[in-house]
Every structure is written in C-alpha cells, then in structure tokens.
Amino acid sequence: MLALVLDTSSAAVTAGLVDCAPDQPVLLAERVTVDARAHAELLIPSLRACLVSAGVRIADLAAVVAGVGPGPYTGLRVGLMTAAALADATGLPGYGVCSLDAIAAAHPDQQDLLVAGDARRKEVYWARYRHGERIGEPAVSKPAELVAKRVGGSAMAGAGARLYAEVLGLPLLDGDFPTVAGLAACAAERVRDRAPGEVLVPLYLRRPDAVEPTARKPVTA
C-alpha cells in the first residue's frame, strides 16, 4: 500500500513515499527543500529522487496524497496540479489532507494545540487541535487578532507560530511545515481501505494577489 505524498502549501517543497499497510505508516523516502520561490522547479526532481531512493516505480503505487493547504495560491497549486495529474494519468486514487492537520499529527499528545502557518502579509493560517483532531475550520488572521480573541492553547507549532512567537506567546513545539509522515498519517486509513479518490480542492482562504483588471485604463489625457 505505497502512497506518494506531496505538499507545496508552505515555503517547504515536500515529496515522499510511505508504506501505509502497517498500523503505523512507514516512511520509505523523503525530500524537503525550503524555498518559497522554487516549488515548480523542485517538486518533480524531489519526487523522482524519492522513487529512486526507495526503489519504487510509479506502477507500484497505490495512492497519491497531497496537502491541500491552506497556502498561498501560486505555490499550493503546483503540488495539487502535480498530484491531480499523476492520479489522472495512472488511475490512482488521490486523497487530500489539510496541511495544518499534518503538522498537528506530529503532536497527538497535546490537549489544546494552536497550529499556525505563515500566510505572508503579516498574517497566519491557523486552526486549533485537541489530541490531533481539529476543532473548527482553518482560518487566516493577523497574530494580534488571535491574541485579542483569546485564541490560545497550551502550545503552538508551525512556521507562523515561530515567526510570531513573541506575539502569540505560547510554548513553541517543533514542526514548522507539514511532513510526509504527518500527511500520510492523516490519509492512511483511506489508503488502506482503498477509498474512492477525491477531487483535490485547494484551500486558499483568500483571493490571490493578482486579479484581472475590471476595465481598460485610458492611456491619454
């Protein structure tokens, strides 16, 4: 039950291979490069390197797992388009995982965890978790707004949590980005059960910076 795992929802370009057959998924290969400007250039080479390292062929795969965000528009769509294209071309089921859930999966012992990713524009993508289970829907806010709303917890994790640690004021745990193991853990049951594949819908939470102009602007007085 081999799953190819991809995530480009953050500054990290992540690819890996996981055996989901055991009760505890086994990591076979992983490549992570932190470069927010090179998702498109790095993802496919990282994917290929994982296949070679694990001695696995595309034909050996049982599923494709992808982090669906929340994340910035440009980077996030690279991973999702790649995952969707692979699933379509091979007939494999594709499974989406909230990327914040993957970070929380590394801390199942935390009773009240705040996961905050870097959303740029001095904002964070965030969600709260109880023993690895998400409470409510992910959102995007300024760190000071979370403090004002008393959205706290017993600890925090994620790149946004690290970036705004002084503002948020909670104990900081390891885990800035979604990991292959965390993503696989969130999808392992679907992979083992051979659940029907899903449409990989990106979780943007806000509109992209670039928009189409609404009207032509005059070029002469």
Query: Would you give per-residue pLDDT tens digits along the chain (221 residues)?
Result: 999 999 999 999 999 999 999 888 999 999 999 999 999 999 999 999 999 999 999 999 999 999 999 999 889 999 999 999 999 999 999 999 999 999 999 999 999 999 999 999 999 999 999 999 999 999 999 999 999 988 878 999 999 999 999 999 999 999 999 999 999 999 999 999 999 999 999 999 875 544 455 555 555 55
Give the β-pairing of 155-157 and 113-120. parallel
Q: Which domains does the chain have, with CATH numbers?
A: 2-99+178-192 (3.30.420.40), 107-168 (3.30.420.40)
Q: How far is CA 25 from CA 4, 28, 105, 139, 192, in A?
A: 12, 9, 12, 29, 10
Whether the pTM exceeds 0.85: the reply is yes
